[in-house]
Chain A
Amino acid sequence: MFLHFPLVLMESNAWTQFVRFWSFQDRAVQTAALGVLLLAISSGTLGCFIVLRRMSLLGDSLGHAVLPGVCIGYLVQLRKDPWWIVSGALVSAFLASWLIGFIRRHTRLKSDAVMGLVLSGFYGVGTMLLTWIQRIPAGNQSGLNGFLFGQASAISERDLYVMGALSLVIVGLVMALFKELVLASFDEGFASTIGVPVRTLHYLLMGLTAIAVVIAIQAVGLVLVSAMLITPAATALLATDRMRSVVILSVLFGVFSGMVGLSVSFLNSHYPTGPFVVLTLALVFAGMYLFSPRYGVASRAIRRRRQSQRTQRENVLKSIYHSLAGCANAVKINELATLRQETPAEIRSTFSMLMRRGWAQLEGDQARLTDAGLRRAQELDRNYRLWEQFLTDEINLPIDHTQRDAENIEHILGPELVRELEARFEQRHD
């Protein structure tokens, strides 16, 4: 279907639009970008706590549950008055969370089922009201249809003030109560024993979540609003182990994806903003999943590969060292190959790694160790012996069992552990 667009025209058009967007000169762009910025900051901050407290599904439920309130807020004034819409959304969100709790207490249903139930019920009522609004004469221009999938260009300057005030409330409260929120999220029982009002904090978080949903709804739409709460925080959790950095990164990921998504949707006024923002978020998450320095799948594979290369390299270093200890100070590549039971080509490729490290030199087919190489080889040899001694003396492994373990561990032992091993054996020999 999309192939019918005149592609060439689209592209040149797209480029100028793109430049127009990222120069932020347009008033419309400024308003939309500011709105997205505010929503990314507020959802990104709160999202961290929602994800860590396993309230993600609740965030999603609240996102859907605000729709009836938004519609009723519209109906009061028959126009998109931000304060009425926010109030309606809040009432609706509180009603939904109260209902979730009520059904939980009085049935034996578990919370996921109850949340699903309330979520879809409220969403149903909301869609019904929305359809009805669009039928009434004033409703056509209501701008409410942007609420489903998000239309950042529909954010008015008046909306911005409300969004700004609400974001300030969220960020301010989270910062002021940061220490208590972290404690209550990590260990609710302990928090409560030292007098932290954990229940109040829980309801406060739910209330703030409802507010964050309302802030986000115009730009990303209520169907995708939970992505703004969950994905940036989840991505940040893959990247770092410190709570403060989690919050900061979560906001940054949200802002980045928001801006990219907005710029894409800006290329064509019919594109909704939400899907592009969420798509960018998903891509950022995928990138982090693969390349997060510590936990990334690809990063771990690279680390493992480096370790195995290192083992191989150091084993060749040791072979040279051992054959040198016997006779002259240079050894032929072919002899080395026989010794290691590898082909000369394999040895040459590993040997080039040694040379790059400055551990060895090659003169013709004569391999020779440099001073640095010699030192590292001696160190490895010593680690090997230390570990072998540890295995036989302290683990009481028979001597024929120790060799293989020691071969592998000598490349891994850190300087601290080596010092400890040395201290142990020196003590004994005194």
Chain B
Amino acid sequence: MSTTAVPPNPPPIEVHDLTVSYDKKPVLWNIDVSFPEGQIIGIIGPNGAGKSTLIKSIMGLMPAESGWVKVYGQPLARQRRLVGYVPQRESVDWDFPVTVRDVVLMGTYGKLGLFRRPGKAERELCDHCLMQVGMAAFADRQIANLSGGQRQRVFLARALAQDSRIYLMDEPFVGVDAATEAAIIELLRTLKRQNRTLLVVHHDLQTAPEYFDSMLMLNMRLVAFGPTQEVFTTPLLQKTYGGRLTILSEAAEQVAGTRR
């Protein structure tokens, strides 16, 4: 340890003054936050608060109108292999003609790069990931025949196959059975013990304080971010979920109006 001023290690994810619009209407205003390493972080807020939008714009899936995102001090484009992503389950067509193993193998494509096909090593990794989520027996099944919880586990196995330092998960607990919910949180804790950073969009306030080390409370703007015991308080929850946001939504409508 040096005593002189050493530049601090860059945080896993730093969001600076991020404003994002959806269909010309601003849905996130000036988000400024820096996530600490090795924590399970919950993103909570009411419907339409921009929780998924925040995750998607961190992942570069939605263009930012202003502001930037850095991953360990660098733009995401250079750090893609450090970030794993678990999209919402409904975002894909589960009738697609692929097997469970095919989907999990997709997690290895980032490292494989163009033109290279997954080989024996990737297959073994994928079987191991399926085992971790308790889906080893389903490897050759077609994905259409899976239950909601099983589908979520497949998505998690794919994320595990990415072997990333940071994971962004969009509503992984929605519509899954109790056993899957328990399995997921157990998996998240295992990943945390390996000092990985987990950002999880969540909507269930009952389980939130139990699951997350820190929380980001969001309602179009950042309401609060900090350790769970500090921010999961009645006044802040009221501020997040209360109806005091008419001015912001009204402004968003007007911004959209001038652009259409």
Contact = CB atoms under 8 A, between A and B. Distances in A.
Interface of A: 52, 176-177, 179-180, 182-183, 185-187, 189-190, 192-196, 237, 240-243, 245-246
B61 A189 contact: yes
Interface in B89-114: 91-93, 96-99, 102-103, 106, 109-110, 112, 114
A241 to B, nearest CB: 4
A180 B98 contact: no
Nearest to A237: B97
Contacts of B93: 52, 186
A192 B61 contact: yes
Interface stretch (B13-21, B80-88, B198-206, B227-235): B80-88
B60 to A, nearest CB: 7
Contacts of A52: 93, 96-97
B96 A189 contact: no
9 contacts: A185-B96, A189-B59, A190-B85, A190-B158, A192-B59, A192-B61, A193-B59, A193-B60, A196-B109
Q: Nearest 10 pairs between A and B by C-beta? A: A194-B110, A241-B142, A193-B85, A193-B59, A187-B92, A186-B96, A195-B80, A189-B87, A241-B97, A243-B97
Nearest to B106: A183
B192 interface: no
B106 A190 contact: yes
User: Mostly helix, strand, loop or mixed at chain B's interface?
Assistant: mixed
Interface of B: 56, 59-61, 77, 80, 83, 85, 87, 91-93, 96-99, 102-103, 106, 109-110, 112, 114-115, 117-118, 142, 144, 158, 162
B104 to A, nearest CB: 12
Nearest to A185: B96
Contacts of B61: 189, 192-193
Highest count of chain B CB atoms <10 Å: which of A190, A195, A196, A237: A190
Contacts of A182: 98, 102
A194 B80 contact: yes
Given A186-B98, A192-B59, 6 more contacts: A179-B117, A183-B109, A186-B92, A190-B106, A194-B85, A194-B109
B142 A193 contact: no
Contacts of B114: 177, 180
A189 B56 contact: yes
Contacts of B97: 52, 237, 240-243, 245-246
Contacts of A177: 114
Contacts of B77: 195
Nearest to B96: A186
Given A241-B97, A246-B97, A193 B102 contact: no
A180 B116 CA distance: 10
Contacts of A194: 80, 85, 109-110, 162
Contacts of B83: 193
Given A183-B109, A194-B109, A176 B115 contact: yes
A192 B58 CA distance: 12
Contacts of A186: 92-93, 96, 98, 103, 106
Contacts of A243: 97-98, 102
Contacts of A189: 56, 59, 61, 85, 87, 91
A185 B103 CA distance: 12
Contacts of B96: 52, 185-186
B91 A180 contact: no
A94 B225 CA distance: 48
Contacts of A183: 106, 109
Nearest to A48: B97
Contacts of A179: 109, 112, 117-118
Contacts of B106: 183, 186-187, 190
Highest count of chain A CB atoms <10 Å: which of B85, B97, B158, B162: B97
A192 B56 CA distance: 11
A124 B24 CA distance: 35
Contacts of B98: 182, 186, 241-243
A190 B87 CA distance: 7
Nearest to A236: B97
A234 B115 CA distance: 27
